[in-house]
Structure 1
Amino acid sequence: MTTPMIVVVLKGYPRLSETFIAQELLGLEQAGLKLSLISMRRPTDTRRHPVHDEIRAPVLYLPEYLHEEPLRVASAWWKARKLPGYRLAWKAFWNDLPRDLSRNRLRRFGQACVLAAEWPEGGTWLHAHFIHTPAAVARYTALMTGTPFTCSAHAKDIWTSPDWELAGKLADSRWTVTCTQTGHAHLQSLAQDPARVHLSYHGLDLDRFGPFAGERPARDGSDPADPVLIASVGRAVPKKGYDVLLKALAALPADLHWRFEHVGGGTETKKLKALAATLGLEQRITWHGALAQEDVLALYRRADLFALACRITPDGDRDGLPNVIVEASSQRLTVVASDISGVPELLTDGVNGYLTPSEDPAAFAAALEQAIRDPQTRMRFGRAAEARVRGAFDYHQSIRQLKTLFETEWQTHHDR
């Protein structure tokens, strides 16, 4: 049996905020798998991580909005409607539409028509990264073409999708992987066959995030000329809880000397800067915007603490296990974070980090103060967090698991 080519549907590619996906794609290529990438959006980031330049798979960009490429969409629909499975896909679309009466639903079907009509040569398998919109395109395409599909589910895509839609995709996919125990349990509860839902941590490329050989100074916030550096990496969006973090910083005692550096773009940046000004923090904060991976690594190594006050938003959106927490921990950088989603799967409060309830600036401030004033404990927690990452979050383990899942399913499918 020849190695099938996996056609991977992505929401956008490349994206600075989704390094973990690029890392996985490269790992699968290095493991000998053939990939062809399908992006539902063109890139908006002005920079690329080095990992993006190492991926060799070709990229096909679907029309992000159908009205922007009407001739392409019309031509694709004309071809797709002649496919043997078109009626099945059309029926599935019409079953979904009353429960999601939106232009987005029509867009996903149109994008599926384009993918089916412009199918990459040699493609024999479909895999969607994210179980919301990419999996919708993959599912309709799979029905049209008769191509089996599988799925990787993460965080927002799970928790902001209705159960009926998740259940339908879980039923139609050969298998689904997800990256936290909470997400795994939720998807298993919706699956007709829970055994087809697998837990697979993304892990970290520990070659790129090698051990930090330097020694951090024992700063304790007492010297105004040598303040403690608190770092954070994450998009400025509501689920990251940066308003909570800023309020916690404002609540720190006046005798503590610190600086805060943030890395990441996002729609809330202007609002957060205004909040920082209102709280009187603007002179202590540096907003870097998006940075390349090597610059983020340098920040981890300069910093004394890493902070992220994630929350669950009213629409259910949340992080899984933020990859930046894994990255920071790999550099012996002690983390102060909220105890939600997958964070406690890596960090244990009082053992290898500081965890607080979400939406609680006072508790977060207390944890920050404790970490700042006690550099010896802070460093001990950092060493323990690094050991946990290097022992259990090596991404090669995830790549081996994914390769086994693909190859086992291919063999089963081939034998039918």
Structure 2
Amino acid sequence: MRVLHLLDHGLPLHSGYAFRTRAILKAELARGWEVAAVTGPRHGPAPDDEEVVDGLRFFRTRPVAAKLPGLSEWREIDAFVQRIHQVVKIFRPDVLHAHSPVLCALAGLRVRRWSGVPLLYEIRALWEDAAVGNGTGREGSLRYRVTKALETHAVRQADAVAVICEGLRGDLIARGIDPAKIAVSPNGVDMALFGEPVPQDAGLAAQLGLEGAETIGFIGSFYDYEGLDVLIAAMPALVAARPAMQLLLVGGGPAEPAWRAQAASSPVAERIHFLGRVPHEAVERYYSLIDVLVYPRKKMRLTDLVTPLKPLEAMAQQRLVAASDVGGHRELIEDGVTGTLFPADDPAALAKALEKVFCMRDQWDVRRKQARAYIEAERNWFVNIARYDGLYENLAIKMA
């Protein structure tokens, strides 16, 4: 089986998108398939038109000069189509596997018409809702409606569709898409990267002044929908209940200035630590310092429909997890078994839930083991990748 993946971006860039892609490609190689990827213009400049990163073969599309909104996207698709054409002639794939956003699917559909190679379109998030979530779009706007229409068109035209969670599957079915056409390929964890938890980094704890502290934290991108303002607002009540409490925030993003200002004005400002972005290879050191990873996502279409990756990585690291009860979290976390769920957008409820977690230390080991067992059985990438077997084989038969 020869599979060519069509990507918005990829390694060596660091993002949840790039790391999910890495896990998929690595797992497919381990199954004996021949795998390559083409990144689109949005990946940005690359040292070569073709390169190998972490043992994975990437073909690059050169960036496109920015034009008017709308026109730029179509120029990007044109450039991406031309590059995919070139790569198809070189790699001769059995299947094209396009990953959201929809620009990748639209380029893949044009290449399919020329080459006859069947197309699987995998949706990780709906582009129109992602724009609302990161503050660059507005639900119901003209751009939102056009993007949604393009997404629906791409799904209808693709030979098969995969989504990362049941929330997205339900949304597509509500649009009139045949349920039999949609497979669920959930987020998973590359156990080679996150499989073995590391002991607490005592040196880093001392450097940050955390000896003897109780710690909660967040590691990820700072977008408004992640709800860290709710977590910061919960800190005074939590410190009042647990005087040794400290909050560690690792990462960065558009919402950081507002959250830093909020934290600076908090009566417990000295307990809230912004640690900035850290190299991917150093992330485990920071996981080792945090007793409970907290994911206070706000309730909206994006967070109700899409499952995040970070809580799974934390569970693989045998860290305790607490999260808001949005739909995406409810698909991943069983309250009181593999983690703790609390009402979204409610600082008081968040503080009360975390206080309860710290009062139940005698149950921590059991919960860690239950969460780890769930990851190994259902969210291990080398298990999940088998879901593509039937999809690829059916598409390859169609091509023949």
TM-score, L = length of structure 1? 0.78
Alignment of 1:75-94 (within 5 A): none
Tell me what 1:298 maps to.
285
Contact 1:39 1:62 in 2 (8 A): no
Contact 1:201 1:398 in 2 (8 A): yes
3-state SS of paired residue (1:342): helix
The answer to whether 1:335 aligns with 2:321 is yes
Alignment of 1:159-170 (within 5 A): 159-160=129-130, 162=145, 163-170=148-155
Alignment of 1:2-401 (within 5 A): 3-4=1-2, 6-14=3-11, 15-18=13-16, 19-40=19-40, 41-42=42-43, 53-65=53-65, 102-116=70-84, 118-120=86-88, 121-124=90-93, 125-157=95-127, 159-160=129-130, 162=145, 163-212=148-197, 226-256=212-242, 257-313=244-300, 316-318=301-303, 320-401=306-387
One-letter amino acid of the structure 2 residue matched with residue 329 of structure 1: M
Structure 1 stretch displaced more, 304-313 or 248-257: 248-257
Offset, 1:119? 3.6
Deviations 1:152-201 (A, max 9, x none): 11124374565432321112111111111111221233354321100111
C-alpha change, 1:231 and 1:193, in structure 2 (3 Å) is same
Contact 1:16 1:290 in 2 (8 A): no
The structure whose Rg is larger is: 1
3-state SS of paired residue (1:310): coil
In 1, the alpha carbon distance for the partners of 2:29 and 2:388 equals: 12
Contact 1:171 1:191 in 2 (8 A): no
Percent identity between the aligned chains?
Answer: 21
Contact 1:352 1:380 in 2 (8 A): no
Contact 1:346 1:389 in 2 (8 A): no
Extract unaligned runs of 5+ from structure 2.
47-51, 131-143, 203-209
In 2, the alpha carbon distance for the partners of 1:296 and 1:336 equals: 19
- Corresponding residue pairs, total: 365
In 2, the alpha carbon distance for the partners of 1:167 and 1:348 equals: 32
Offset, 1:33? 2.4
Offset, 1:235? 0.5
One-letter amino acid of the structure 2 residue matched with residue 195 of structure 1: A
C-alpha change, 1:170 and 1:273, in structure 2 (3 Å) is same
Offset, 1:328? 0.8
After the TM superposition, which parts of structure 1 deviate over 6 Å for at least 4 consecutive aligned residues?
none
3-state SS of paired residue (1:126): strand
Offset, 1:369? 1.4
After superposition, the CA RMSD in angstroms is 2.9
One-letter amino acid of the structure 2 residue matched with residue 57 of structure 1: R
One-letter amino acid of the structure 1 residue matched with residue 92 of structure 2: G
C-alpha change, 1:372 and 1:290, in structure 2 (3 Å) is same
C-alpha change, 1:67 and 1:167, in structure 2 (3 Å) is closer
Structure 1 stretch displaced more, 327-336 or 255-264: 255-264
One-letter amino acid of the structure 1 residue matched with residue 399 of structure 2: H
C-alpha change, 1:347 and 1:192, in structure 2 (3 Å) is closer
Contact 2:101 2:125 in 1 (8 A): no
In 2, the alpha carbon distance for the partners of 1:348 and 1:280 equals: 33
Deviations 1:298-348 (A, max 9, x none): 3223321110111244xx433722211011112221111011133222212
In 2, the alpha carbon distance for the partners of 1:205 and 1:375 equals: 28
3-state SS of paired residue (2:231): helix
Contact 2:187 2:308 in 1 (8 A): no
Deviations 1:244-294 (A, max 9, x none): 111122332425222222222312222211111122444223333333344
3-state SS of paired residue (1:207): helix
Contact 1:209 1:330 in 2 (8 A): yes
One-letter amino acid of the structure 1 residue matched with residue 220 of structure 2: G
In 1, the alpha carbon distance for the partners of 2:36 and 2:79 equals: 16
C-alpha change, 1:158 and 1:55, in structure 2 (3 Å) is farther
In 1, the alpha carbon distance for the partners of 2:284 and 2:200 equals: 15
In 1, the alpha carbon distance for the partners of 2:45 and 2:216 equals: 28
Contact 2:229 2:259 in 1 (8 A): yes
3-state SS of paired residue (1:286): strand
3-state SS of paired residue (1:58): strand
Offset, 1:384? 1.9
Structure 1 stretch displaced more, 55-64 or 300-309: 55-64
TM-score, L = length of structure 2? 0.81
C-alpha change, 1:406 and 1:246, in structure 2 (3 Å) is same
In 2, the alpha carbon distance for the partners of 1:37 and 1:358 equals: 38
In 2, the alpha carbon distance for the partners of 1:392 and 1:20 equals: 16
